[in-house]
Amino acid sequence: MLTIVNIAIMLVLITVLYQLQKKHVSFSKRVFTGLGFGVLLGIFLQVAYGSDSSVVSSTTDWYSLVGSGYIRLLMMIVIPLVMVSIIKAITNLEKTSQLGKMSGWIIGILVGTAMIAAVIGVGTSVAFDLNADQIEAGQSEEERGAFLEERLGDVKDMSTPQRILEFIPSNPFQDMTGDRATSTIAVVIFSAFIGIAVLGLRRKKPEQAEMFTKMIDAVYGVVMRIVTLILRLTPYGILGLMANTVARTDVGGIIELSKFVAASYVALIIMFVIHLLFISFAGLNPVTYLKKVLPVLGFAFTSRSSAGTIPLNIQTQKNNLGVPDGVADMSASFGATIGQNGCAGIYPAMLAVMIAPTVGINPLDPSFLIMLVIIIGISSFGVAGVGGGATFAALIVLSAMDLPVYLAGLLISIEPLIDMGRTALNVNGAMTSGTITSKILGNLDKERFNDKDANEIDLSEVS
């Protein structure tokens, strides 16, 4: 009965959000309303039943139909969207050399900011005096540590060249299923080859190239229409996701590890500010930028999925920030697996500084720090843009620095909380790279960027 009552409450809140949609309340306001409803509903479940109660477990299973179901719909469209978007973007280019400049700037900014994020993570850890010896390990932490050591075997046996080799698709149809951590990049590379081939075909057999281009344009229109339909569900998805996250949160673990939580969010905020400074240095208004990307960051924070945020990321860059199609498509796609500032930058750096003293290493030794930042920059390639990506990045960095990986399991109780902020930073890094790249290449629509009315995801029609 209690579970049924909780489901009824969720249905009432969904009805309220639907009524707001019918009254044409803006998308941004409905997203943050859904976020607020989710937080309040999660708190109610925590207070009324406790995070580990059977009622909360059964209730959140039903809530997952709304939250996790929405994430699945987004993941369903990610690969088709990335593929047709990249092909369309390249076929619209006049020269293939433009592709090299575009991808070079995007990847350079993503990896560069990841290395800066590593420095921020080191500084914050030192400022808060974080040390793995200060954290007591319970049964769940020990089990998590053992799991990480088991998983280390898959990572440790691969050299950096081998990990980079994983980007190159040997079976693009397998990568279209999202089977590997690097599937998104592999699909981008495969799509880029198709686009480049069409450019070459246009010079020799223009009729065939034109026919293929028309076909891609038609598929692109259909895919974008699906994206539009799915994005309309965003407020409901955020409601379900946030309610589950708050309801399941281990409050005791957060209190016990409050210093690490505080240090993590201080580092994340500092890096957010650095992103805004880069936007400012590019001659753009950082406040305008922030207002336009907040709904995307809110969704990324709630969903904890950089890959799942790709459709919303692309739409926001194109419609709100004035970033051209090609740059928006590539920055969102690359940003989900390369140079993730939160998961691949700040988090591994903080763990390395925390764990180093436990094995007699001075974390402030210049050679240790330089090596750490370089390894983080290299290992930031190919981090999966879904839950668990930060763990994968930490395994690579800690093993490369010869540090024990099992100590990373000490933070399992607060992992969801800090992962929310990390994911939001990852997505913001992708949008920052797209915005700055288009500004450098001179194809940013400044009028759209500065237009205060261009601050909504277009859910009414597909251009």
**pLDDT tens sequence for the chain (463 residues):** 888 999 999 999 999 999 998 898 887 788 889 989 998 998 899 888 887 788 888 998 999 999 889 888 888 887 888 888 888 878 877 666 677 888 899 999 999 999 999 999 999 999 988 887 665 554 454 555 555 555 555 555 566 677 667 778 888 888 887 777 667 778 888 888 998 898 888 888 989 989 998 999 899 889 888 888 888 888 898 898 888 888 887 776 666 678 888 999 999 999 999 999 999 999 999 999 999 998 889 888 887 788 778 888 988 998 899 999 888 888 988 888 788 898 889 988 998 888 888 888 888 899 999 999 998 888 777 665 444 566 777 777 877 788 877 666 666 667 778 888 998 999 999 999 999 999 999 999 999 999 877 666 655 443 3
Q: Extract long-range pairs of 353-357: CB within 8 Å, 24+ residues apart.
A: 353/121, 353/122, 353/125, 353/126, 353/130, 354/125, 354/130, 354/131, 354/132, 354/407, 355/132, 355/398, 355/403, 355/404, 355/407, 355/408, 356/401, 356/403, 357/131, 357/132, 357/133
Of the chain, the end-to-end C-alpha distance in Å amounts to 48
3-state secondary structure of 387: coil
3-state secondary structure of 381: strand
Taken in order 152, 154, 156, 162, is the CA torsion positive or negative?
negative
2-450 CATH: 1.10.3860.10
Instruction: Give the distance, in angstroms, between the CA of residue 130 and the centroid of all CA atoms in the same chain.
Output: 26
User: Residue ranges per domain, the chain?
Assistant: 2-450
Query: 107: closest CA among 361, 417, 333?
Result: 333
pLDDT at residue 286, as a whole number: 95
In this structure, the chain runs to a length of: 463
3-state secondary structure of 66: coil
Question: What is the per-residue pLDDT for 315?
Answer: 87
pLDDT for residue 115: 94
Give the burial string for 41-59 (b: 16+ CB within 10 Å, else e).
Answer: bbeebbeebebeeebbeeb
Q: Which of 392, 419, 428 is nearest to 271 (CA)?
A: 428
Q: What is the pLDDT of residue 253?
A: 62
Check residue 80 and give its pLDDT: 87
Assign residue 361 a region (left: φ > 0; alpha: ψ between -120 and 50; beta: otherwise): beta
Residue with tokens 């759209």, as numbered in its chain: 448
Mention every residue, 6+ apart, whose C-beta is less than 8 A from residue 381.
111, 163, 164, 167, 337, 338, 339
The dihedral built from the CA positions of residue 147, 151, 153 and 155, taken in this order, carries a sign that is negative
Tell the burial category of 274 from Cβ atoms under 10 Å away from its Cβ (0-12, 13-18, 19+): middle
Whether the model clears a pTM of 0.85, i.e. scores above it, the answer is no
Q: Which of helix, strand or coil describes residue 136?
A: coil
pLDDT score recorded for residue 139? 47
